[in-house]
Amino acid sequence: MPNKILVMAKSTLYFFIAMFSLGIDLADASVFKQRQQATAAASPSSPKTSSESGSLSLTDWGDLFYYGEEAELLRYEVAREFYLSAAERGNGYAQFSLAYMALHGQGRAKDTNQALVWFVAAVARGSAEAEYYLGEMFYFGDGVDRNPEVAAMWYQDSAGHGNANAQYSLAFMLKRGDGSAQDYVAAQYWLRQAAEQGHVPAATSLGYLYRDGQGVDRDYQLAAFWFTKAASQGNAEAQASLAYLYEYGQGVAQDFVRCAYWYDRAAQQGYALAQYNLAQLYKLGLGVPFNLEYARRWFLQAAAQGHVQSRQELVRLRLPFMSSSSDEAQ
């Protein structure tokens, strides 16, 4: 009982400190609560819960400060106290939040030991996110000895519980045979699981598997399907890969206009290979008007990133490697 009273007293103290020092009033809290309830209604499986009376829970207050716009150090410290109070009462969401803050040094110095403690506690409460981050810690050796085998175990658990990031990370390890035997079939399975949840890098990687026939029968149509999914979400690699399929009519009808469109989308993001290929289209007048000046500009941008073939093209065209700021590609 004394411990509970102490926890409640600490929470109340930090609450009033926060109210006065950050200028947050109950109207702000009410707006936040309405937003949180709407989010919870849309995601009923969320591990975060509020009291049935409609008042803000400790985790709600933690979120209010964590995601607030006030001074970072103070708001993280106040959020941490609310999360700590809820975590000590066994709230898995708060335990995960504390672990995440400890791992990233938010509010206090980075503390991987505390991160491990609270991630493990959150796992016991069924947190797939915590399983994923434990996998990350062991894969990268962040605060622990690097151990790909242990990382793969945590990724596997998290992936099995539906975490898209873990599914992608597990597939990445399976493709490389890192931490487990190389298995393209299993990698394809987990990439599909993640991609179907909208994980863009997974959709891009799945496109590569089908394009190259790794662990699956080569299927350019499926490659185009997954590249399109990722390209539409802004992934430059997928955009360039999709453009290549349109350029050579692999899995799609050959279409230089669409090819130029997707190369341009990727080139605008600074993707050197797309810049080089787009320059080639301008040089040849394929899918875009013939324009050596535009070709030069894109070759220059790619060459500036060390793209060797672009430098060679500039030599062939007898054009200098450098240009003024007014020569930026359109």
* Amino acid at position 271, single letter: Y
Judgement on whether residues 228 and 132 belong to the same structural domain of the protein: yes
Say if CB 261 and CB 242 are below 8 A apart: no
Domain CATH code at residue 251: 1.25.40.10
Q: Does residue 166 lie within any of the structural domains?
A: yes
Judgement on whether residues 229 and 258 belong to the same structural domain of the protein: no
Judgement on whether residues 229 and 239 belong to the same structural domain of the protein: no
Say if CB 119 and CB 134 are below 8 A apart: yes
Q: Does residue 264 lie within any of the structural domains?
A: yes
pLDDT of res. 321: 55
Query: What CA–CA distance (Å, rounded) separates 188 from 206?
Result: 7
CB under 8 Å to 68, separation ≥6 — which residues? 22, 24, 75
pLDDT tens column, 133-178: 999 999 999 999 999 999 999 999 999 999 999 999 999 999 999 9
CA angle centred on 133, ends 128 and 138, rounded to 5°: 125
Say if CB 151 and CB 178 are below 8 A apart: no
Judgement on whether residues 209 and 299 belong to the same structural domain of the protein: no
Question: Which residue numbers in the chain have pLDDT < 50?
Answer: 1-2, 4-54, 322-330
pTM: 0.77
Please enumerate, as own/partner, the contacts of 145-153 that have beta carbons within 8 Å and a separation of 24 or more.
Answer: 148/173, 148/178, 148/179, 148/180, 149/179, 149/180, 151/179, 152/178, 152/179, 152/180
Q: Does residue 117 lie within any of the structural domains?
A: no
pLDDT of res. 182: 92
Judgement on whether residues 76 and 14 belong to the same structural domain of the protein: yes
CA angle centred on 10, ends 7 and 14, rounded to 5°: 140
CA angle centred on 317, ends 316 and 323, rounded to 5°: 120
- Both tokens of 235, joined, read 């992934």
CA dist list (Å): 16 to 21, 57, 83, 171, 188: 8, 15, 16, 47, 52
Q: Does residue 120 lie within any of the structural domains?
A: no
Judgement on whether residues 227 and 267 belong to the same structural domain of the protein: no
End position of a domain, from candidates 107, 136, 155:
107
Judgement on whether residues 164 and 227 belong to the same structural domain of the protein: yes
Look at residues 91, 70, 120, 69 and name the one whose alpha carbon lies nearest to residue 7. 91
pLDDT of res. 61: 73
Q: Look at the alpha carbons of 179, 180, 184, 186 in this order and tell me if their dihedral is positive or negative.
A: negative
Q: Does residue 116 lie within any of the structural domains?
A: no
Query: What CA–CA distance (Å, rounded) separates 211 from 209?
Result: 6
Cα 131 off chain centre by: 16
pLDDT of res. 148: 97
Query: What CA–CA distance (Å, rounded) separates 299 from 318?
Result: 12
Q: Does residue 118 lie within any of the structural domains?
A: no
Cα 261 off chain centre by: 25
Q: Does residue 119 lie within any of the structural domains?
A: no
End position of a domain, from candidates 233, 250, 277:
233
Say if CB 281 and CB 315 are below 8 A apart: no
End position of a domain, from candidates 48, 79, 107:
107
Owning domain of residue 34: 1-107
Judgement on whether residues 185 and 245 belong to the same structural domain of the protein: no
Judgement on whether residues 219 and 238 belong to the same structural domain of the protein: no
Q: Does residue 249 lie within any of the structural domains?
A: yes
Judgement on whether residues 68 and 141 belong to the same structural domain of the protein: no
Number of domains in the chain: 3
Judgement on whether residues 22 and 98 belong to the same structural domain of the protein: yes
Judgement on whether residues 210 and 267 belong to the same structural domain of the protein: no
Q: Give 118-181 as a DSSP string.
A: HHHHHHHTT-HHHHHHHHHHHHHTSSS---HHHHHHHHHHHHHTT-HHHHHHHHHHHHHTSSS-
Look at residues 301, 316, 295 and name the one whose alpha carbon lies nearest to residue 271. 301
